[in-house]
Structure 1
């Protein structure tokens, strides 16, 4: 299970150019239940609050993932992700990844300078600081998720592909999302019409193939993820929506 739970958390949270965050409202909270095979493996949550960062309107977004039950007994996970996202551009200003996964820990902070396409990476465990080159429109793992949710419906037509550069840990990764179709998905609240999105991921070490992950988001202006399924090299993971509140537009379950 080492790092597998964290990978699904990344896919929930991440999953360009500037995009105003118009479909998110302050106080939104999304909670998910995570299963590894038949095991109840953990929970993940996302919250968004409007605030000010360096004099500019931002969303302070926090993602928290933890293992639960029998999984936590032999593999304790407590992952915290934080991001300050500029509301007018949809780009991250400050990003934190602070994770504990079994015996593995990492605490990184990143400051983004989008004007000159650089970033400052601080490793809080080693007290080291690096100044690195970036690229135009770079997203972090949380801001990428909210960027996707703020796109216009014309940008998420079936067959369309969105490409992003996402800052993960201490590296930049090209990321691609393909809208594969429209499906009705069963949830604990009933069925809901969804866009089926397939992220392109690195195959071999964890996932069975480069399109071994599928994400279903509501086919409305919210684009709330309701289900994620990942076929791993060993076993499978599933995350399903468990509760939500303060979503900007009504969710039409049937």
Structure 2
């Protein structure tokens, strides 16, 4: 689920392109190439939390249109228990510039009895954000459209990488951070809400973490809807150790199972 940005031929054009995209970037201090995160997925079934699958996320340095870029992928897979109720096979792919400006996004999703693909290509002409959007519907039809915005626009993956680099020491509890997110169809009116700090213990283990808590909220049909609540480590890594997902068909959770290749010491981990 990713898209492309054209490499400029002349040095002058290349520098201009870099300066235009930089306004949508942020300094990355949270992760490095070679980071891998692994999660267990749970679903609330008749008031009992049942393990229904797994997820893995990787970030590596790669090339995109001839320039260095972070390649991030997220794969979620439901098991047979979930398949009886709702099939979930999602694969997300993203390329971001080294300053985390989004370049390309792709989501291939089998959710229930339907399969679709979303793609976004980003470019930044004259300091604006230009999106080329492509949707492959469940019936195989293709829909293309283009959108232009004066402000920066993100997708489900690039917003995640960006949020990991926020300086929470400058945030106040209850503060809202605008986060416009687009898919291949429309732009959502969405934001992150900072909920403060909590200590979280991963169930079934002795793992405890000091966490920063954020909610991803979207406004639709005149109402605010909390879609995901993140618990991220209160250290320089800002790794999500727990995600609460409020879905149309119920509630799901993801808990960090293991990690490797992290950039900074895990000082939030409590013994």
Question: For the structure 1 residues 53 and 156, does the alpha-carbon distance in structure 2 shift closer, same or farther, using more than 3 Å as the test?
Answer: farther
Count the aligned residue pairs: 235
TM normalised by structure 1 equals 0.82
Name the structure 1 match of 2:111.
Answer: 101
CA distance in 2, matches of 1:225, 1:130: 33
Local SS of the residue matching 2:31: coil
Indicate conservation of the 8 Å contact 1:201/1:213, yes or no. Answer: no
Question: For the structure 1 residues 170 and 231, does the alpha-carbon distance in structure 2 shift closer, same or farther, using more than 3 Å as the test?
Answer: closer
2:216 aligned to which of 199, 213, 217 = 199
5+ residue gaps, structure 1: 1-15
> Max radius of gyration: which structure?
2
The answer to whether structure 1 residue 25 and structure 2 residue 42 are counterparts is: no
CA distance in 2, matches of 1:60, 1:166: 19
CA distance in 2, matches of 1:212, 1:78: 19
Runs of 4+ in 1 over 6 A off after TM superposition: none
User: How far 1:77 moved relative to its partner?
Assistant: 1.7
Kindly report which structure 2 residues correspond to 1:208-223, keeping only aligned pairs within 5 A, or say none.
Answer: 210-211=225-226, 213-223=228-238
CA RMSD of aligned residues (A): 2.5
Local SS of the residue matching 1:201: strand
Give the stretch that moved more between structures: 231-240 or 169-178. 231-240
Local SS of the residue matching 1:136: coil
Give the stretch that moved more between structures: 137-146 or 164-173. 164-173
Indicate conservation of the 8 Å contact 1:33/1:42, yes or no. Answer: yes
Local SS of the residue matching 2:152: coil
User: How far 1:34 moved relative to its partner?
Assistant: 1.4
Give the stretch that moved more between structures: 43-52 or 113-122. 113-122
CA distance in 1, matches of 2:172, 2:262: 22
Indicate conservation of the 8 Å contact 1:40/1:69, yes or no. Answer: no
5+ residue gaps, structure 2: 1-22
Local SS of the residue matching 1:227: strand
The answer to whether structure 1 residue 126 and structure 2 residue 141 are counterparts is: yes
1:57 aligned to which of 68, 76, 97 = 68
Kindly report which structure 2 residues correspond to 1:233-248, keeping only aligned pairs within 5 A, or say none.
Answer: 235-248=250-263
User: How far 1:248 moved relative to its partner?
Assistant: 0.7
The answer to whether structure 1 residue 144 and structure 2 residue 159 are counterparts is: yes
Local SS of the residue matching 1:139: coil
Indicate conservation of the 8 Å contact 1:62/1:81, yes or no. Answer: yes
